[in-house]
C-alpha cells in the first residue's frame, strides 16, 4: 500500500481507554481513517465483515470471543483485512507471534511503532494463523461464509456434526449448516464436548437423551441408536463404539 | 530481634493444642513403659490422667494469664518462670490429692516433680524448634519469596489507560498515577509484618479505582463492611490479589461485566473476609490457584491454625472466605 491511499482502520478492544488511545494516536498519523470500533470479539467480526476495513487493530484478550478466534473466522472473507494484534502482556502470545512473524503491538503503544506496523501490514498467511491457533485452543463458534458474510454457529448450540462427502453437516435445534472442515480435526479440538458415536458422526454429549435398541441393521440385527434433545432424528451407534453406551 | 527465641504463645489455638497433644502423648508413653499387660496399661493411664490432667489444665490457665508478664521477662527467664509455674501447680495438686484423696499408688513428691519438669522441658524444646521452623526466623525467607506479585497484564493495561487520559482528562490521569504509585509502593515494600485492616482496605480501593478506569461500567463493586475494628492486623496484600483474580477471571471475560462483592464482618472475635465474583464455565485457572496458595501459606505462617481460607464455586459464583483471629496492635 502506498502512503497516499487512505487506510481504513477498524479498532477492536474491550477497554474504552485503550480504544481512545488508539484513536488519539491514529489522529496523529496522516492518511488513516477510522471506520469504527468494536467492544468485543463478536462485534469486531460483524463490523469487519460489514465494513471491510484495510486494517484491523485487534486486542487479544476480549470477552465473547478472543482476538485469535476472530482472526481465524475472518479468513472466510474473500478479502480479509490485515490484522495487527495488540496485547498488554502475555508471554505465550508474544512467543507465538514471534515464531510466526505476525505483527503485534505491545500496550502502551508508541506512535512510531504503530506507524511502522501500519506501513507493513499485510493479510495473515494461513501458516501464521495455524501457528497462533494454540493460543485459542478451543473456538467458541464455528463459522460459515455466506455471500461474503460470516455466519457464526455457537459450539454450545451444536447437537451433532456429521461428515457427508466433502462437507460436514452442523445440526442445531433450528437448522442445518454445511461447513468445510475435517471431522478428525473437530474431534481433536472439541473432544470434551462431542463423542464419536459413528465413523462419520460426532454428537454433543449434553444433547444425548439416551440410547435405544432398534431393528435397523441390514442384516436384521438389532442396533443401538442415540436419542437426541430438540431433534426427532436419531444417530446410529456403530458396533465399534458400543462400549460408550455402557460407560455413559 | 527476629532470630530470638520467644515464649510460646499459649493464647494461640494451634500452640495450646500442640501442648495438650504432646503432654498426653508423653503420659501414654509413661503408662506403656510402667505396665506389662493391656488391662494394667488402661488402669495406669486412668490413674496418671486423674492426676496429670488437672496439672496440665491449671498450668495452661496460669500461662495464659501470665503471658504478657512472661513476654516481658525475655526467653531464658520466661522459661524458668514457666517451669516454676508448672512445678508449683504440680505441687499444689499433689498436696490437694494427698489431703482429700487416698491415693495409694501416688509416687513420691520429688519424683512427681521430676516427671513434670521432664515433660515441660520436652514440650518447651519442641515448641522452640517449631517456632524456629515456622515463625519469622526461617519463615522470613519464605515470606519474602511469597510476596504477592502483581500481574504484568494489569500494570501495562493501567499504564495504557492513564496514557489515554493525559490529553483529554489530565486531572483524572494525575489521580490514576497517584493511585498506581501508592499501589506499587505497597507491592514493593517489605511485606513481612502485619498491617492494620484499614490500610489493606484503602489499598484495595485504590486498586479498584484503577481497574474501574479500564473497565468502567463493566466493573461493579459492592463493599459490605460491618462492625469491624479497623485496627485489627492482617497480612499485607491478603485481599488485593484476590480482587485482582476476581477482576481478571470473573469480570473481564464478561462482555456486560458484573459485580464483585466484598463482605467484611466480625463474628466471635474472628474477622471474616468474604469475596464473591461471577464466574464463567472454566475455572481453576493456574494463576488463581497460585494466588490462593500464596495467601494460604502466608496465613499459616502468621496465624497457624487460627486462620483459614476456603474457596468454592456454586451457581455461577466464585467465593473465597478467609477467617482471621482478631489481632490488635500491641
Residue closest to B229 by CA, chosen among B203, B205, B198? B198
Q: How far apart are CA B226 and CA A9, in angstroms?
A: 50
Q: Could you tell me if B224 and B232 are in contact, meaning their C-beta atoms sit under 8 angstroms apart?
A: no
* pLDDT band at residue B208 under the 50/70/90 scheme: very high
List the single residue in B160, B168, B213 with the smallest CB-CB distance to A107. Answer: B160
* pLDDT band at residue B191 under the 50/70/90 scheme: confident
Interface check B282 vs A, CB under 8 A? no
Q: Could you tell me if B304 and B14 are in contact, meaning their C-beta atoms sit under 8 angstroms apart?
A: yes
Please determine, for residue B6, whether its predicted confidence score (pLDDT) is greater than 50.
yes
Residue B330 pLDDT: 66
Q: Assess: ipTM above 0.85.
A: no
CA distances (Å), origin B130, targets A180, B5, B8, B133, B262:
66, 11, 10, 5, 35
Residues in chain B within 8 Å Cβ distance of A21: 160-161, 163-164
Asked whether the beta carbons of residue B160 and residue A90 sit closer than 8 angstroms, the reply is: no
pLDDT digits 0-9 by tens, B32-49: 887 777 777 888 888 888
Asked whether the beta carbons of residue A108 and residue B163 sit closer than 8 angstroms, the reply is: yes
DSSP state of B267: E
Question: What's the average model confidence in pLDDT over B190-210?
Answer: 89
Rounded to whole angstroms, the maximal C-alpha distance in chain B is: 93
Q: Could you tell me if B240 and B203 are in contact, meaning their C-beta atoms sit under 8 angstroms apart?
A: yes
- What percent of chain B is modeled with pLDDT above 90? 27
* pLDDT band at residue B305 under the 50/70/90 scheme: confident
Question: What's the average model confidence in pLDDT over B229-236?
Answer: 89
Residue B299: exposed, middle, or buried by beta-carbon count in 10 A (0-12, 13-18, 19+)? buried
List the single residue in B153, B214, B255 with the smallest CB-CB distance to A40. Answer: B255
Interface check B170 vs A, CB under 8 A? no
Residues in chain A within 8 Å Cβ distance of B252: 14, 61, 63
pLDDT: which is higher, B227 or B277: B277
Residue A48 pLDDT: 93
Encode burial over A223-233: b for 16+ CB neighbours within 10 A, e otherwise: bbbbebeebee
Pick the CATH number of A158-247 from 2.40.50.1020, 3.90.1010.10, 3.40.640.10, 2.30.40.10: 2.40.50.1020
Residue A11 pLDDT: 97
Please determine, for residue B2, whether its predicted confidence score (pLDDT) is greater than 90.
no
Residues in chain A within 8 Å Cβ distance of B157: 15, 18, 88, 107
pLDDT: which is higher, A136 or B251: B251
Interface check A92 vs B, CB under 8 A? no
C-alpha cell at position B106:
501416688
Strand order through the sheet with A235-236:
A208-215, A222-228, A235-236
pLDDT: which is higher, A29 or B137: A29
Residue from B172, B176, B255 whose CB has the most chain A CBs within 10 Å, to mutate: B255
Our measurement of the distance from residue A65's CA atom to the centroid of its chain's CA atoms, rounded to an integer in Å, reads: 8
Please determine, for residue B254, whether its predicted confidence score (pLDDT) is greater than 70.
yes
Residue closest to A150 by CA, chosen among A245, A247, A70, A239? A70
Interface check A106 vs B, CB under 8 A? yes
Interface check B172 vs A, CB under 8 A? no
Interface check A178 vs B, CB under 8 A? no
Whether the upstream peptide bond of residue A17 has omega within 30° of 0, thus cis, is no
Interface check A90 vs B, CB under 8 A? yes
CA distances (Å), origin B154, targets A16, A205, B244:
15, 38, 9
Interface check B64 vs A, CB under 8 A? no
Domains of chain B: 13-134 (no CATH), 148-325 (3.30.565.10)
Interface check A21 vs B, CB under 8 A? yes
Asked whether the beta carbons of residue B156 and residue A89 sit closer than 8 angstroms, the reply is: yes
Asked whether the beta carbons of residue B164 and residue A24 sit closer than 8 angstroms, the reply is: yes
Angle (CA) B75-B80-B86 rounded to 5° is 120
Tell me the pLDDT of chain B averaged across its residues: 84
CATH number of this structure's domain A7-135: 3.40.50.2300
Write phi, then psi, for A92 (nearest 5 degrees). Answer: -65, -45
Minimal-distance CA residue of chain B relative to A39: B255
Residue from A17, A113, A154 whose CB has the most chain B CBs within 10 Å, to mutate: A17
Residues in chain B within 8 Å Cβ distance of A61: 153, 252
Residue B266 pLDDT: 93
Residue A127 pLDDT: 77
Range 141-160 of A in CB contact (< 8 A) with B: none
Question: What's the average model confidence in pLDDT over B61-66?
Answer: 88
Contacts of B98 (CB under 8 A, 6+ apart): B106
Q: How far apart are CA A175 and CA A159, in angstroms?
A: 10
Asked whether the beta carbons of residue B215 and residue A40 sit closer than 8 angstroms, the reply is: no
Asked whether the beta carbons of residue B255 and residue A39 sit closer than 8 angstroms, the reply is: yes
Minimal-distance CA residue of chain A relative to B165: A17
Residues in chain A within 8 Å Cβ distance of B254: 63
Positions of CATH 2.40.50.1020 in chain A: 158-247
Shortest Cα–Cα distance, B223 to chain A (Å): 24
Please determine, for residue B110, whether its predicted confidence score (pLDDT) is greater than 70.
yes
DSSP state of B249: I
Shortest Cα–Cα distance, A13 to chain B (Å): 11
pLDDT tens digit at each of 248 positions of chain A? 455 688 999 999 999 999 999 999 999 999 999 999 999 999 999 999 999 999 999 999 898 898 989 998 988 888 889 999 998 877 777 777 776 767 889 989 999 999 999 988 877 777 777 778 777 778 899 998 877 788 899 999 999 999 988 899 999 999 999 998 889 989 999 989 999 998 899 999 999 998 888 866 666 677 888 899 999 988 888 888 877 776 55
Minimal-distance CA residue of chain A relative to B254: A63
Question: E-strand spans in chain B?
Answer: 195-196, 219-226, 233-234, 258-267, 270-278, 308-314, 317-325
Asked whether the beta carbons of residue B168 and residue A89 sit closer than 8 angstroms, the reply is: no
DSSP state of B278: E
Q: How far apart are CA B214 and CA A21, in angstroms?
A: 12
Encode burial over A18-41: b for 16+ CB neighbours within 10 A, e otherwise: bbbbbeebbeeeeebebbbbbbbb
Shortest Cα–Cα distance, A68 to chain B (Å): 15
Residue B300 pLDDT: 85
Please determine, for residue B185, whether its predicted confidence score (pLDDT) is greater than 50.
yes
Positions of CATH 3.40.50.2300 in chain A: 7-135
**Secondary structure of chain A in the HEC alphabet?**
CCCCCCEEEEEECCCHHHHHHHHHHHHCCCCEEEEEEECCHHHHHHHHHHHCCCEEEEECCCCCCCHHHHHHHHCCCCCCCEEEEEECCCHHHHHHHHHHCCCEEECCCCHHHHHHHHHHCCCCCHHHHHHHHHHCCCCCEEEEEECCEEEEEEHHHCCEEEEECCEEEEECCCCEEEECCCHHHHHHHCCCCEEEEECCEEEEHHHEEEEEEEECCCCCCEEEEEEECCCCCCEECCHHHCHHHHHC
Minimal-distance CA residue of chain B relative to A42: B255
Amino acid at each position: 500500500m502506498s502512503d497516499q491511499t487512505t487506510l481504513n482502520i477498524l479498532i477492536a478492544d474491550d477497554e474504552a481507554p485503550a480504544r481512545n488511545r488508539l484513536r488519539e494516536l491514529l489522529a496523529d498519523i496522516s492518511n488513516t481513517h477510522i471506520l469504527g470500533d468494536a467492544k468485543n470479539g463478536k462485534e469486531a467480526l460483524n463490523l469487519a465483515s460489514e465494513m471491510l476495513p484495510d486494517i484491523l487493530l485487534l486486542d487479544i484478550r476480549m470477552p465473547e470471543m478472543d482476538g485469535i478466534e476472530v482472526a481465524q473466522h475472518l479468513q472466510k472473507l474473500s478479502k480479509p483485512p490485515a490484522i495487527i494484534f495488540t496485547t498488554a502482556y502475555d508471554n505465550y502470545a508474544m512467543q507465538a507471534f514471534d515464531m510466526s512473524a505476525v505483527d503485534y503491538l505491545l500496550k502502551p503503544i508508541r506512535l512510531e511503532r504503530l506507524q511502522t506496523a501500519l506501513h507493513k501490514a499485510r493479510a495473515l498467511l494461513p501458516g501464521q494463523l495455524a501457528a497462533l491457533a494454540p493460543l485459542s485452543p478451543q473456538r467458541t463458534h464455528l463459522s460459515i461464509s455466506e455471500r461474503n458474510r460470516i455466519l457464526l454457529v455457537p459450539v454450545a448450540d451444536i447437537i451433532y456434526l456429521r461428515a457427508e462427502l466433502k462437507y460436514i453437516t452442523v445440526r442445531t435445534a433450528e437448522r442445518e449448516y454445511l461447513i468445510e472442515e475435517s471431522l478428525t480435526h473437530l474431534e481433536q479440538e472439541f473432544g470434551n464436548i462431542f463423542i464419536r458415536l459413528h465413523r462419520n458422526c460426532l454428537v454433543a454429549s449434553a444433547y444425548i437423551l439416551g440410547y435405544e435398541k432398534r431393528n435397523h441393521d441390514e442384516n436384521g440385527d438389532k442396533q443401538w441408536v442415540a436419542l437426541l434433545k430438540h431433534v426427532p432424528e436419531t444417530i446410529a451407534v456403530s458396533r465399534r463404539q458400543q462400549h460408550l453406551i455402557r460407560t455413559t | 530481634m527476629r532470630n530470638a527465641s520467644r515464649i510460646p504463645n499459649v493464647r494461640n489455638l494451634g500452640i495450646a493444642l500442640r501442648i495438650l497433644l504432646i503432654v498426653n502423648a508423653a503420659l501414654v508413653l509413661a503408662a506403656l513403659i510402667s505396665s506389662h499387660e493391656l488391662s494394667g496399661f488402661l488402669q495406669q493411664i486412668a490413674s496418671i490422667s486423674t492426676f496429670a490432667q488437672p496439672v496440665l489444665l491449671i498450668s495452661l490457665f496460669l500461662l495464659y494469664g501470665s503471658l504478657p508478664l512472661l513476654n516481658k521477662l525475655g526467653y531464658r527467664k520466661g522459661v524458668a518462670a514457666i517451669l516454676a509455674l508448672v512445678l508449683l501447680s504440680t505441687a499444689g495438686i499433689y498436696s490437694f490429692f494427698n489431703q482429700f484423696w487416698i491415693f495409694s499408688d501416688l509416687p513420691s513428691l520429688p519424683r512427681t516433680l521430676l516427671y513434670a519438669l521432664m515433660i515441660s522441658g520436652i514440650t518447651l524444646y519442641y515448641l522452640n524448634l517449631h517456632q524456629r521452623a515456622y515463625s519469622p526466623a526461617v519463615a522470613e525467607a519464605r515470606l519474602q519469596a511469597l510476596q504477592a506479585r502483581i500481574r504484568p497484564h494489569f500494570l501495562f493495561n493501567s499504564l495504557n489507560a492513564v496514557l489515554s487520559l493525559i490529553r483529554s482528562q489530565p486531572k483524572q490521569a494525575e489521580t490514576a498515577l497517584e493511585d498506581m504509585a501508592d499501589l506499587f509502593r505497597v507491592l514493593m515494600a517489605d511485606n513481612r509484618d502485619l498491617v492494620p485492616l484499614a490500610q489493606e482496605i484503602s489499598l484495595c480501593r485504590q486498586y479498584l479505582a484503577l481497574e474501574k478506569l479500564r473497565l468502567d461500567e463493566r466493573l461493579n463493586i459492592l463493599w459490605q463492611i460491618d462492625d469491624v475494628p479497623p485496627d485489627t492486623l492482617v497480612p499485607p496484600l491478603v485481599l488485593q490479589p484476590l480482587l485482582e483474580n476476581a477482576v481478571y477471571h470473573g469480570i473481564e471475560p464478561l462482555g456486560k461485566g458484573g459485580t464483585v462483592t466484598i463482605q467484611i464482618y466480625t463474628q466471635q472475635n474472628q474477622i471474616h473476609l468474604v469475596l464473591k465474583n461471577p464466574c464463567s464455565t472454566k475455572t481453576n485457572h493456574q494463576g488463581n490457584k497460585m494466588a490462593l496458595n500464596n495467601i494460604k501459606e502466608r496465613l499459616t505462617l502468621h496465624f497457624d491454625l487460627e486462620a483459614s481460607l476456603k474457596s468454592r464455586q456454586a451457581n455461577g459464583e466464585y467465593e473465597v472466605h478467609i477467617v482471621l483471629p482478631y489481632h490488635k496492635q500491641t
